[in-house]
Structure 1
Amino acid sequence: MLAYARGDAAAFDLLYARHEAGLYRFVRRLLGAPLAAQADEVFQEAWLRIVAHRARFAPRAASWKTWAFTIAHNLAMDRLRVSGREVALEQEDGDDPLDWLVAHQHDAAPSSEDQAFWRAAGAQLLHCLEDLPPPQRAAFLLHHEDGASVEDLAQRLALPFETAKSRLRYALKKLRGCMGAYLAPLEAAR
């Protein structure tokens, strides 16, 4: 990014190639199915902002990936607000993050039946993600797709630490409930 900010166009090509898929996937999942058609537009707008503000990037303040994902997050949240899909959060107590899913994985090479089972579970997880309120979905995706710590979540989302922690905990609890309800009958049938 620093090379690109100094005028090296080839550096931008490399930066884009490395981060295009992850940034698009983040925007797409954050917007969810109802706004999927707008993912391309938000993704392109994020890259336009990255280009326009390249001189503002400061590696001491945040990594490039943190900076870019924050830009994309803010644009996606703006789009969700405009669409009327933003909702308020209620207070809940959370559980451990998706430990149950790891416990159900098999160490041996999966059979075609197992592959079909986990492919369906993956599709269900995407459905469960789309059902999360956007602020919780953003916290989950930043944490699990981008590897952001809770402290980093708070900084990126401009939230108090406890609020960021709560959003992540709520998201995990809801995903665990959604996936648990889906996997229990399937596990019993296997």
Structure 2
Amino acid sequence: MQDLNDDALMSAYAAGDASAFEALYARHQAALYRFIRRLLGTALAAQTDEVFQDTWLRVVHARASWDPQGASFRTWLFTMANNRVIDLWRRSGREVSIEVDEDSDSGPWEPEGTAAWQHWPPPASATLPSEDLAFWRRAGERLLQCLEELPLPQRSTFLLHHDDGLPLADVASALNVGFETAKTRLRYAMSKLRTCMGAYLSPFQTSKGEAR
């Protein structure tokens, strides 16, 4: 089963092979759960299990009529999860409309230079000093906070493309928007994340308090 692609597994499951569903679940469950958790944010984190289980339940119910229509199983799976999250956001009274500045002719604001980024230590490795490991731990925590500050459309676009590895065309399909809209949302998300991270994480300080 592990050698079959998603489409073949879903077809096998539709034909009554329960082990095909188990293989699909094992392959996608971690990424899907992470996507739902980060999309819901802290305020709605308690609903993560509900959305996760409901998404897989919809896979079960749709197995006989499943028709990807050109979309991959993963895109279809994340589309269902994203739609479920949008429903929860709306029921909780949160705004999910596109920001006005996304329709502006001017591009998103870009920070001048990359001064706050140039002094960051390299990513974690087996030989990284403890203070650098602590830096990246804080950086990861801060990134999650910055993600929560993004509007939901931009957050979902960023997560699908950068965290879950979907091509931008598939992201547009999953979110039911045009390619250029998805591209614009991603550009704004990246700009805001760079600003948020750069403003918070000033040039890294060594244990002696000297900037690198």
1:90 to 95, 100, 125: 100
TM-score w.r.t. length of structure 2:
0.80
- How far does residue 138 in structure 1 lie from its aligned partner after superposition? 0.4
Q: 1-side partners of 2:146 and 2:117: how far apart?
A: 14
1:78 to 76, 79, 87: 87
Please tell me whether residue 119 in structure 1 is matched to residue 120 in structure 2: no
2:71 and 2:170 in contact (8 A); partners too: no
1:139 and 1:164 in contact (8 A); partners too: yes
Please tell me whether residue 132 in structure 1 is matched to residue 146 in structure 2: no
Q: 1-side partners of 2:57 and 2:83: how far apart?
A: 14
Q: 2-side partners of 1:102 and 1:84: how far apart?
A: 40
Secondary structure of the equivalent of 2:201? Answer: helix
**Matched residue, 1:22:** 31
Give unmatched runs, 5+ long, in structure 1.
Answer: none
Question: How many residue pairs were aligned?
Answer: 188
1:31 and 1:76 in contact (8 A); partners too: yes
Q: Report percent identity of matched pairs.
A: 56
Please tell me whether residue 183 in structure 1 is matched to residue 192 in structure 2: no
1:57 and 1:67 in contact (8 A); partners too: no
Which is richer in helix?
Answer: 1
2:164 to 146, 163, 169: 146
**Matched residue, 1:12:** 21
Q: CA RMSD in A?
A: 2.4
**Matched residue, 1:164:** 182
- How far does residue 101 in structure 1 lie from its aligned partner after superposition? 5.6
Give unmatched runs, 5+ long, in structure 2.
Answer: 1-9
- How far does residue 84 in structure 1 lie from its aligned partner after superposition? 1.7
Secondary structure of the equivalent of 1:55? Answer: coil
**Matched residue, 1:104:** 120
TM-score w.r.t. length of structure 1:
0.88
Distance change (3 Å), C-alpha of 1:56 and 1:168 = farther
